[in-house]
């Protein structure tokens, strides 16, 4: 009798599950994609000078290509010491600073940049693909403006620049026509107008960047 009751209950629950309609996607979950497609792209000033300090030639090449194709000037250094000297001499508007570097690490380099009157106010985005370094960043955050974890895509790069423009940390670009940010992070012209910007190469735009 007890066995028959257990089977009946099991069958009851099975039927209830079969009758439950599949849950519809949450409007809130769909909102970010829709907002992103329709959001106006905010670019930093054309000719913005960006310094990349990273010992990976791949990161410098791919990130540099993304930035150049958006009208920015790119400088590079493969170690912290050289990067600090370049920052002092060339006065970049924005610095991408890797955490794990040969010799001086990114944390010590950031301290040096913040102590120097010439670079203490320069926006710095720290980058790393090292899990331990990523954890240390959140524990020892010492004046960086943002953090970007490798691998990263084109959209993530320009969203962070846009956030700095909107917060006043970077100067905005005066665009003659509205630009839209498409799903892949590239620029989509509004109302069918051309942006005059060459498309990013497949390996630089679609594939995540890691090193």
CATH code of residue 108: 3.40.50.2300
Q: How many CA atoms lie within 13 A of 135 on its CB side?
A: 2
Q: Classify residue 200: in a domain, yes or no.
A: no
Q: Classify residue 124: in a domain, yes or no.
A: yes
- For 106, the domain range is 48-170
Q: Classify residue 81: in a domain, yes or no.
A: yes
Please tell me the predicted confidence (pLDDT) of residue 104: 97
pLDDT tens series, the chain, 211 aa: 555 554 455 454 455 444 444 443 333 333 334 344 446 778 999 999 999 999 999 999 999 999 999 999 999 999 999 999 999 999 999 999 999 999 999 999 999 999 999 999 999 999 999 888 877 887 677 789 999 999 899 999 999 999 999 999 999 998 565 555 555 555 544 444 444 443 333 334 344 555 5
Q: How many domains does the chain have?
A: 1
Q: Classify residue 193: in a domain, yes or no.
A: no
Q: Classify residue 164: in a domain, yes or no.
A: yes
Q: Classify residue 133: in a domain, yes or no.
A: yes
Classified as helix, coil or strand, 98 is strand
- DSSP secondary structure letter of residue 88: H
Q: Classify residue 83: in a domain, yes or no.
A: yes
Please tell me the predicted confidence (pLDDT) of residue 78: 98
Q: Classify residue 84: in a domain, yes or no.
A: yes
How many whole angstroms separate alpha carbon 72 and alpha carbon 51? 10
Closest CA to 108 of 75, 84, 132: 84
Cross-strand partners of 148: 127
């Amino acid at each position: 009798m007890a066995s028959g009751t257990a089977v009946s209950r099991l069958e009851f629950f099975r039927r209830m599950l079969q009758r439950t309609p599949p849950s519809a996607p949450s409007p809130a979950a769909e909102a970010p994609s829709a907002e992103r497609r329709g959001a106006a792209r905010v670019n930093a000033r054309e000719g913005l000078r960006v310094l990349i300090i990273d010992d990976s030639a791949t990161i410098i090449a791919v990130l540099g290509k993304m930035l150049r194709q958006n009208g920015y000037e790119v400088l590079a250094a493969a170690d912290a010491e050289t990067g600090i000297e370049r920052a002092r001499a060339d006065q970049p508007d924005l610095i991408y600073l890797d955490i794990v570097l040969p010799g001086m690490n990114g944390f010590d380099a950031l301290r040096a940049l913040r102590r120097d009157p010439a670079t203490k106010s320069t926006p710095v985005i720290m980058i790393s693909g090292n899990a331990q370094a990523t954890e240390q960043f959140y524990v020892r955050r010492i004046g960086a403006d943002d953090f970007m974890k490798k691998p990263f895509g084109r959209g993530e790069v320009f969203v962070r620049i846009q956030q700095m423009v909107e917060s006043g940390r970077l100067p905005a670009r005066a665009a003659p026509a509205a630009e839209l940010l498409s799903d892949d992070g590239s620029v989509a012209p509004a109302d069918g107008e051309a942006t005059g910007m060459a498309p990013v190469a497949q390996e630089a735009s679609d594939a995540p960047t890691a090193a």
